[in-house]
């Protein structure tokens, strides 16, 4: 006999992973906001460097592109596009609202599912599968965002070295 607590614990663990990926994306986005704010604040100071150097302009453009790409992946983490084709599931929030008609029909279907151990575990397993796909996409976006975040820092260091070299 299967223990439903194992399924519920797995779903709880997956929810924590979803929150962790979104937290990471939020932290990356915050760092970008801070750095972009500093850049805009010092734009007049950097104007002299822009005038005299094509390389400086290219590096800044590459930096801005890497920041924008990183921010794009942060946003994608919050809204991953995932196509999932499952049967109507009493545990999917959208299905619970729309797939079974009114609240009485949903309640009746939920009771039917809960009274059949096979159906119950099948529905829970679909929920685990769906959330696992969501987490995979979210962490993929976070990883890409981190990569472009690192690239943006490398470009900032190159800009600093270049700026100090032309002083």
Average pLDDT over residues 14-38: 93
Q: Kindly tell me the sign of the dihedral angle through the C-alpha atoms of 152, 156, 41, 50.
A: negative
Kindly report, residue by residue over 45-93, the tens digit of the pLDDT: 777 766 777 888 899 899 999 999 999 999 999 887 767 788 888 888 8
Confidence of residue 11 (pLDDT cuts 50, 70, 90): confident
pTM of the model: 0.81
* Residues spanned by the domain of 98: 4-166
**pLDDT tens digit sequence for 34-55:** 998 888 887 777 777 667 778 8
pLDDT (tens digit per residue) in 93-117: 888 888 888 989 999 999 999 899 8
Q: Find out whether 113 and 119 touch, Cβ atoms under 8 Å.
A: yes
What pLDDT was estimated at residue 13? 93
Place of tokens 């990183």: 70
Q: How many CA atoms lie within 13 A of 98 on its CB side?
A: 5
Total domain count, the chain? 1
Instruction: Output the pLDDT for position 167.
Output: 66
């Amino acid at each position: 006999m299967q223990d439903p607590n194992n399924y519920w614990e797995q779903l709880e663990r997956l929810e924590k992973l979803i929150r962790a990926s979104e937290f990471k994306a939020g932290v990356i986005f915050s760092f970008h906001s801070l750095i972009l704010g500093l850049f805009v604040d010092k734009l007049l100071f950097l104007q002299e460097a822009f005038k005299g150097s094509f390389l400086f302009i290219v590096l800044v453009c590459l930096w801005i592109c890497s920041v924008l790409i990183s921010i794009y992946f942060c946003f994608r983490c919050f809204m991953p596009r995932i196509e999932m084709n499952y049967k109507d599931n009493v545990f999917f929030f959208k299905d619970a609202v729309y797939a079974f008609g009114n609240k009485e029909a949903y309640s009746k279907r939920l009771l039917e599912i809960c009274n059949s151990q096979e159906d119950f575990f099948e529905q829970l397993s679909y929920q685990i599968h769906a959330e696992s796909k969501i987490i995979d996409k979210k962490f993929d976006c976070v990883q890409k965002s981190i990569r472009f975040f690192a690239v943006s820092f490398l470009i900032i260091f190159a800009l600093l070295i270049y700026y100090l070299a032309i002083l």
